[in-house]
Amino acid sequence: MTETQQQPTPELQALNRLVGTWKVGGGAEGTVRYEWMPGRFFLLQHVELTQFGEPVTGMEVIGNLRPFGEPTGPDVASRYYDSVGNTFDYVYELAGDTLTIWAGAKGSPAYYRGTFDAAGTTVTGEWVYPGGGGYASTMTRI
């Protein structure tokens, strides 16, 4: 395919349900906003949260990897960058109304799993960490 024939994958396009601004509650509180980068090959998440009593501002770029000269990768991957110097890698999957975000690689023991309500205005779930920990998290569209 030429560059002009390349299309965003259906797996990435499914994340269109996240576009907009959401109020986050639970173990981290604040707002997140999702928007498409022009071309719709990458979904950008803007993060303004308070977690463990500390404010965190961040940005995440979500899309299929396509290194120079290689085919588009199968997973919807992301890298998150924040105001305290962290970079985290994730893999997103939306199957039906269930959103799973794995920390690191798909199938990781650290993940978020949440479910969209029927109206698509609330996602309720939790972060699960190996060895315990994690926290409930709910996003409500505003």
Over the stretch 94-112, which tens digit does the pLDDT of each residue have? 999 999 999 999 999 999 9
Amino acid (1-letter code) at residue 53? G
**pLDDT surpassing 90 at residue 91:** yes
Phi, psi of 75 (to 5 degrees): -95, 150
**pLDDT surpassing 70 at residue 21:** yes
Q: What is the mean pLDDT of the chain?
A: 95
What confidence score (pLDDT) does residue 33 get?
A: 98
Contact criterion met (CB below 8 Å) for 106 and 123? no
Residue 10's SS3 state is helix
Q: What is the mean pLDDT of residues 39-46?
A: 97
What confidence score (pLDDT) does residue 86 get?
A: 96
Distance CA 108, CA 92 (A): 12
Greatest extent of the chain over all pairs of C-alpha atoms, in Å: 49
Phi, psi of 52 (to 5 degrees): 55, 35
